[in-house]
Amino acid sequence: MALRPFGAHTAPYPDFGQETFEPMNIVTPVILCGGSGTRLWPLSRKSYPKQFTRLTGDTSLFQASALRLTGQDSAATLSFAAPAVLTNADFRFVVTEQLTDVGIDPGPVLIEPEGRNTAPAVLAAALHLAARDPEAVMLVAPSDHVVPDSQAFCDAVARGMEAVKTKGHLVTFGITPDRPETGYGYLRLDARPNGSGEATPLAGFVEKPDLDTARSMLDAGTYLWNAGIFLFAAKDIIAAFEAHAPTLLAPVRTAVDKAEADLGFLRLDPTAWAGVEDISLDYAVMERADNLSVVPYSGGWSDLGSWTAVQELGNPDENGVAVSGDVTAIDCRNSLLRSETPGLQLVGLGVENIVAVAMGDAVLVADASRAQDVKTAVTALKDKGASQATALPVDFRPWGHFETLILRERFQVKRIHVKPGASLSLQSHHHRAEHWIVVEGTAKVTIDDQVKLVTENQSVYIPLGAVHRMENPGKIDMVLIEVQTGSYLGEDDIIRYEDKYARGQGARG
């Protein structure tokens, strides 16, 4: 079989990049979805951060955010366009799949070549939307917050629209504090909110305070938590960048202008993006602008910034113990106990003020007072070269996922799930051979010039160097066990010749 390694691909895929937008009475949600999520390790890791996990319900945090920001789970007080999403290449298929699973037709999905914080991301979205409608109104929000009352949130956005439409203001949303919190930045007002929930002038931003300062700010009643959620017209935020962060405009505009369509995604130009400053929207624009308003919000909110925040939302019992998964709690108090791997039994016996999160490859046990310091544990694992610092044992791909069951020096055993109608790339390996045993469903297997069906309890051998592919031609998930043997078992030992997902070369593409 004479084949060349895969480079470009033009197979059809839903076109998420050509969405058009209506005038100012329509709100376009812009969901920022590129964080690494180290504060909720080991469940949240760089390879699959917390926004894509189901931490507090039947949907992921990202799905819940999308539903909230499109009004699907609240009575219509606003009209919403399809959401625009900014993410990185590794998560682009996760984003579209998770949106589709909750009935949301994705709008444009912009791929950041590398993380550059919120200011460049928001500016890129504004330039992209303004090119289609300069009057477009953007509702910018992180993808990993919990807002239990979607109706109250949509009502707050509707109140903020007045300041956007009549005054050209940049609107932010402030959470009414219920405790002296040192983990959040604050928004300062000139006077106490009057209870109406209407937008009010924003006097300034305050960095994360110490505990005494946080207490005095709570007593003053003129400070709100900074939620990092914004509402403005695309033209107004672009004008703010022109006035306060002009050095960002040229490289971000070039990155957008030279962006390339890729299966309906829009990849920002990597060369231009490399020259973009890494800076937050607050520092670049919001702290310098004078046309700011804030909408106070008291409807319940959490950024799930620590495991203790998860505990608070986890329906703790009368002893303050929140459990999830295969957990047995005996004489425990004020603790969070979670087993994130089915069948892995976690037992807490007489523990107090403890966070314990167990997974198949890593376990966190921490004093609850140190929950904000989990990222230091991730840093320590990185320093010692532990893969658990960044990678889950389950690796999600556009065709499904795989899980490493055993990994030794010269062999590896995986469990591979392939979705109905999906297929892996046509590929070969320099350093390993593979044995496939189908345990559920039917696999369509290509090995060089041969194509055959392999059913349950049947196996097939892939010699080193053979060009091969597996597909799922059925209507249920296909599951197989893969045994790899060879001198090198890394995921980057893949040469792609054809791929319906246009991933190019490399481990993930």
Question: Looking at residue 1, what is its pLDDT?
Answer: 41
* One-character DSSP codes across 341-385: STT--EEEES-BSEEEEE-SS-EEEEEGGGGGGHHHHHHHHHHTT
* CA gap 498, 4 in Å, rounded: 9
Cα 39 vs. chain centroid, distance in angstroms?
Answer: 14
Say which DSSP state 90 is in.
Answer: G
CB 497 within 8 A of CB 426: yes
- Residue 96 sits at φ, ψ, to 5 deg, of -70, -35
Strand order in the sheet with 363-367: 322-324, 336-339, 354-358, 363-367
Whole-prediction pTM? 0.86
Say which DSSP state 457 is in.
Answer: T
* CA gap 378, 374 in Å, rounded: 7
Question: Looking at residue 11, what is its pLDDT?
Answer: 36
Q: How far does the chain reach from its first CA to its final CA, in angstroms? A: 23
Question: Looking at residue 506, what is its pLDDT?
Answer: 59
Question: What is the number of other CB atoms lying within 10 angstroms of the CB of residue 42?
Answer: 21
Domains of the chain (ranges; CATH) run: 30-297 (3.90.550.10), 307-382 (no CATH), 394-498 (2.60.120.10)
* CA gap 488, 420 in Å, rounded: 30
Amino acid at 422: A
pLDDT tens digit at each of 509 positions of the chain: 444 343 433 333 344 444 443 444 689 999 999 777 789 999 999 989 999 999 888 899 999 999 998 876 655 567 899 999 999 988 999 999 999 999 998 889 999 999 999 999 999 999 999 999 988 999 999 999 999 888 899 999 999 999 999 999 999 999 999 999 988 999 999 999 988 889 999 999 999 999 999 999 999 999 999 999 999 999 999 999 999 999 999 999 999 999 999 888 999 999 999 999 999 999 999 999 999 999 999 988 999 889 999 999 999 999 999 999 999 999 999 999 999 999 999 999 999 999 999 999 999 999 999 998 999 999 999 999 999 999 998 988 999 999 999 999 999 999 999 999 999 999 999 999 999 999 999 999 999 999 999 999 999 999 999 999 999 999 999 999 999 999 999 988 999 999 988 887 655 53
Instruction: Classify 130 as helix, strand or coil.
Output: helix
Question: Looking at residue 72, what is its pLDDT?
Answer: 65
* CA gap 339, 325 in Å, rounded: 5
Element containing residue 249 per DSSP (H, E): helix 246-257
For the CA atoms of 73, 296, 308, 218, what is the dihedral angle to 10 degrees?
A: -160
For 465, residues 6+ apart whose C-beta sits below 8 A from its C-beta are 428, 429, 430
